[in-house]
Structure 1
Amino acid sequence: MVRQPLTADQIAAGQRLGAALRAARGDRGLVEVALAAGISPETLRKIEAGRLPAPAFGSVVGLSRALGVPLSDLAEAWLADTPVHQAS
């Protein structure tokens, strides 16, 4: 099975998701959050930078839990340019 290239809209959605996750992470360390989410720090770095615009669902779920951000908020960031508030 050959994977189709991502569209410009999908790439932009991944960049929005990455920015939302970075904002939600705030001052927490990248390694700390990645390990709490069950992913590698390099994977989180790529997601936040928008270089992994279509991360695995399990990765997004893990990040949602680790950051205390509702999964629906991350979905909204993917779908539209909606900021995600940092968890307190």
Structure 2
Amino acid sequence: MVRVPLTPEERERGRRLGEVLRDARGTRAMTSVAASVGMPVETLRKIESGRVPTPAFFTVAALAAELCLPLDALVDACGPADDLEEPRTA
């Protein structure tokens, strides 16, 4: 199976996701968070650094729950770049 390369926008979204998760973790040790959600610390390190720009949904959900970060906050922070410039209207 051939994997389609990620677009620059997808890579940027992954970078933003990692940044938001890293900020939410604050001073808490990466090893503590990774252990709490049952993932290798290296996986968390890759997500936070943007080297895994498209982690699985349940991985992101577990991290968000552990960090008390609402999923809608992640969506807002990691949406397309043009969405970040203009506030959403409902």
- Alignment TM class, shorter chain as reference: 0.7 to 0.9
Secondary structure, aligned partner of 1:65 = helix
Query: What is the percent sequence identity of the aligned residues?
Result: 48
Alpha-carbon separation, structure 2, partners of 1:4 and 1:80: 19
* Structure 1 residue 32 displacement after superposition: 0.5
1:56: which partner in 2?
56
Structure 1 partner of 2:32 = 32
Quote how far apart the aligned CAs of 1:15 are: 0.2
TM-score for both structures, normalised by structure 2: 0.84
Match of 1:42 in 2: 42
Query: Which string of whole-angstrom CA distances, capped at 9 and with x for unpartnered residues, describes residues 28-76 of structure 1?
Result: 0001011112221101000000111001111101101110000111122
Q: Runs of 5+ in structure 2 lacking a partner?
A: 85-90
1:80: how far off? 4.6
Structure-1-length-normalised TM-score:
0.86
The answer to whether the Cα contact below 8 Å between 1:38 and 1:62 also exists between their aligned partners in 2 is no
Instruction: Give the Cα separation in 2 of the matches to 1:80 and 1:25.
Output: 23
Number of residue pairs aligned between Structure 1 and Structure 2: 82
Runs of 4+ in 1 over 2 A off after TM superposition: none
